[in-house]
Amino acid sequence: MAEVKLEKITKKFGDFVAVDAIDLKVEDGAFTVLVGPSGCGKTTTLRMIAGLEEATDGEIRIGERVVNQVPPKDRDIAMVFQNYALYPHMDVYNNMAFGLKLRKMPKAEIGRRVNEVADLLGITEKLKSKPRELSGGQRQRVAVGRAIVRDPKVFLFDEPLSNLDAKLRVQMRTELEQLHHKLKTTTVYVTHDQVEAMTLGSKIAVMKDGVIHQYDSPQSTYDHPANRFVAGFIGSPAMNFLQARANSENGRINLVGKEFRLDIPNPQEMDIQGEVVLGIRPENFSGPVSDGENLVEAKVLVTEPLGNALLVYADCGGEQIVANLDPHQTVEIDSTIKLVVDINTVHLFDRGSENTIL
Amino acid sequence: MKKKIAATLLIHLMAWVIALIWIVPFLGVFMAAIRPMGEIIRGWWRVDPFTPTFQNFTAAWNHAAAPLAEGMLNSLRVAIPATIVPILVAAIAAYGFSRFRFPLKNYLFIAIVILMTIPQQMIAIPIFRIMNDIGLLNTHAGLILVHAAWGIPWILFFMRNFFTTLPIEVEEAARIDGASDFNIFFRIVLPMSIPALISAVVLQFMWVWNDFFLALILIFSPDKMLATQRIPLLRGVFHVDWGVLAAGTILVMIVPILVFALLQRYYIKGMIGWASK
């Protein structure tokens, strides 16, 4: 067990800055998820923690030790790769035992540990099988088992579920959660899937262009995104963004757009004037209604009944929005509808810097 | 439709003709090898009379001037180390080229590829002189050395291309598991490369076994001569002994055919079944 601490970590590939002076502290026993679009530097960051990539600048600590110059094998970490990276010529037992054998652990102890982990992961019957004889989910379990069996200080996961089909992915996600609950090993997990990030992470770091835009608990990231990028990346379907003109007075903010006029509370009496970007999450729409206050008017393009929700994609003055509505109703395509906005949950972003204003 | 049938017929016809042209000389050699001299002197295609016999084979095997038994043993003595040594050396070097960063790497690699284009005849005299200077002329060790050196560039090229197709994550996983470069290469990379290694073994072995040119330059003591060098000596002195000559040819051919037949199945199976994703 140990905390992982990155200080001003930078990675350059030639002139390209993959990771730009990031700071990150993963508390002992925490499950931190690095999430972001492809090319955001999350995998590079993970590989630097693993020691597979050398940091151009900055300091990496695992526990109390600075590990920049420590080879991967001496960092006391274990990593699970996206394509499992099992040793194809070894059976499951030897895949898991390989690291222990290299560490000159007594044979009996290796056997005990491998069997224990195989039991934990439900792959005991497969110990004599070669990786190619296993299904995707079983291979993933072996890869996880190979990491657990070493009992490392830190687990590193590099998109471990993205090669699995949707159903299995959800199942393995739950298993990983349970596993972390049981083992309580410090974990850094990389994914581009924000649902995985939200469900697994005790904290999530949202990355883009080599920079961490927000590092917070999943709920807090969802409720209080630091900027427009985070707001749009976290949450599915994504947050709607509408251009608006703001005018604040008397503890209220007036927002006027092409097809709406909102009057939202401004308890801190912030002075917000001029062009802003309004952010509304799909579930913060309700309706449609025939009349009322704080309405957004839009023309329905497509509807997607999901059973537990009705997603309505609509055109709002040239900008596309999506609303998550009560499924027990029908919304006609091409009709013009009025949706009520929950004014206590809207977000405002600066149009230039895209940082959160409200 | 008619046109299509005609085209198919034409293609089949051409395939048969080419196959026949290709197989006829071999058939001739075979027919000559299994029959006594008297029957084949007027042409191997005359099948009346037809008396199958092994006497040509025993004659070639125990030939007075150039016994093939000794020649095949010599050939094996040369071909086995001349296959293993360059594959081991080239595989290690190829791994370096595929995975490590070092100065002038690409230039070195290009140099190796360019060296592959040099025709063997061009190096005949220098090789002879070098071997003479280091006292390895007319020794099997010298011939092994030259074959190994000749094989390394193409095996290196071939293995490097294969290594770059291996998923690097497997090696990274081993590195995190605690394996050294040495361990990664011998315990992870080489076992994963068995299909490629076997392909290289088959090709290099056949090349060395079938070689006549280098052996002709470097080996000249009768007792050290390789199988391929002995075939022309089976011809006889006062008349061409076609039967013995044909039998000797078949004997020498059997080894590479066996190697190919045995290992081919394995490496084709390996190529299909090995990939793990």
Chain A residues inside the 8 Å CB shell of B178: 73, 99, 102-103
* pLDDT of residue A86 exceeding 90: yes
Under DSSP, is residue B207 helix (H, G, I), strand (E, B) or coil?
helix
Alpha helices (H) in B34-104, listed in sequence order: 37-40, 55-61, 68-99
What range defines the domain where residue A71 resides?
4-233
The residues pairing with A275 across neighbouring beta strands, listed in sequence order, are A245
A16 with A156, same domain: the answer is yes
Distance between CA atoms of residues A111 and A218, nearest Å: 39
Q: Who's near A237: CB < 8 A, 6+ residues apart?
A: A282, A311, A322, A324
Q: Is the ipTM of this complex over 0.85?
A: no
Q: Does the model's pTM come out above 0.90?
A: no
**A44, A11 in Cβ contact below 8 A?**
yes
> Beta-carbon neighbour count of residue B11 at 10 Å?
10
**B234, B66 in Cβ contact below 8 A?**
yes
Q: How far is CA A78 from CA A70, A74, A143, B157, B219, in A?
A: 14, 11, 10, 34, 57
CA distance A172 to chain B (A): 18
> Does some domain include residue A314?
yes
CA distance A90 to chain B (A): 9
Of A233, A258, A290, the last residue of a domain is: A233
B150-205 pLDDT per residue, tens: 999 999 999 998 899 888 999 999 999 999 999 999 999 999 998 889 888 988 99
Which pLDDT band holds residue B271 (cuts at 50, 70, 90)? low
Mean pLDDT of B115-132: 90
Which pLDDT band holds residue B269 (cuts at 50, 70, 90)? low
> Beta-carbon neighbour count of residue B46 at 10 Å?
13
> Beta-carbon neighbour count of residue A116 at 10 Å?
14
Chain B residues inside the 8 Å CB shell of A50: 172, 176
A159 with A51, same domain: the answer is yes
Q: What is the DSSP letter of A260?
A: B
A307 with A173, same domain: the answer is no
A227 with A326, same domain: the answer is no
* pLDDT value of residue B274: 46
* pLDDT of residue B277 exceeding 60: no
Chain B residues inside the 8 Å CB shell of A72: 172, 175-176
**Of B173, B178, B274, which is closest to A85 when you measure between CB atoms?**
B173
A187 with A294, same domain: the answer is no
- Quote the number of domains for chain A: 2
A157 with A289, same domain: the answer is no
Under DSSP, is residue B230 helix (H, G, I), strand (E, B) or coil?
helix
CATH code (residue A246):
2.40.50.140
Q: Among residues A326, A261, A254, A327, which one has the least CA distance to residue A297?
A: A261
> Does some domain include residue A318?
yes
> Does some domain include residue A357?
no
A204 with A182, same domain: the answer is yes
Residue A275 phi, psi dihedral angles, 5° rounding? -75, 130
Q: What is the DSSP letter of B232?
A: G
A193-240 pLDDT per residue, tens: 988 999 999 999 999 999 999 999 999 999 999 999 999 999 889 999
> Beta-carbon neighbour count of residue B157 at 10 Å?
18
Of A195, A218, A233, the last residue of a domain is: A233
Nearest CA in chain B to A51: B176
**B82, B67 in Cβ contact below 8 A?**
no
Under DSSP, is residue A26 helix (H, G, I), strand (E, B) or coil?
strand
Our CA dihedral for B145, B146, B151, B152, rounded to 10 degrees, sits at: 60
CATH code (residue A41):
3.40.50.300
Of A168, A199, A233, the last residue of a domain is: A233
Q: Which of A87, A113, A149, A155 to mutate to test the interface with B (most CBs of B within 10 A)?
A: A87
Q: What domains can be seen in chain B, in order of their start residue?
A: 2-53 (no CATH), 65-273 (1.10.3720.10)
Mean pLDDT of A62-66: 91
Cβ within 8 Å, pair B172-A102: no
Chain A residues inside the 8 Å CB shell of B195: none
> Does some domain include residue A356?
no
Q: How many CA atoms lie within 13 A of A81 on its CB side?
A: 20
Chain A residues inside the 8 Å CB shell of B176: 50-52, 72-73, 77-79, 99
Mean pLDDT of A261-288: 86
Angle at A261 between CA A258 and CA A263, to 5 degrees: 150
**A100, A113 in Cβ contact below 8 A?**
yes
Percent of chain B with pLDDT over 90: 53
> Does some domain include residue A184?
yes
CA distance A193 to chain B (A): 21
Count how many residues are written for chain B.
Answer: 277
A137-196 pLDDT per residue, tens: 899 899 999 999 998 999 999 998 888 888 888 888 998 999 899 989 999 999 999 889
> Does some domain include residue A216?
yes
Strands A154-158 and A77-80: parallel
> Does some domain include residue A244?
yes
Q: Which of B171, B177, B194, B271 to mutate to test the interface with A (most CBs of A within 10 A)?
A: B177
Three-class SS string for A231-258?
HHHCCCCCCEEEEEEEEEECCEEEEECC
What stretch of H or E contains A322?
Answer: strand A319-325
A225 with A244, same domain: the answer is no
Mean pLDDT of B55-81: 91
> Does some domain include residue A358?
no
Chain A residues inside the 8 Å CB shell of B194: 89
A79 with A169, same domain: the answer is yes
On whether any CB of chain B is under 8 Å from the CB of A112, the answer is no
Encoded amino acid at A246, one letter: A
Encoded amino acid at A243, one letter: Q
A74 with A172, same domain: the answer is yes
**Interface list for A 40-69 with B (CB within 8 A):** 50-52
A213 with A103, same domain: the answer is yes
Cβ within 8 Å, pair A83-B173: no
Distance between CA atoms of residues A271 and A358, nearest Å: 11
How many Cβ contacts (< 8 angstroms) between chains A and B?
65
What stretch of H or E contains A173?
Answer: helix A166-183
Distance between CA atoms of residues A259 and A241, nearest Å: 13
Cβ within 8 Å, pair B172-A85: yes
A300 with A327, same domain: the answer is yes
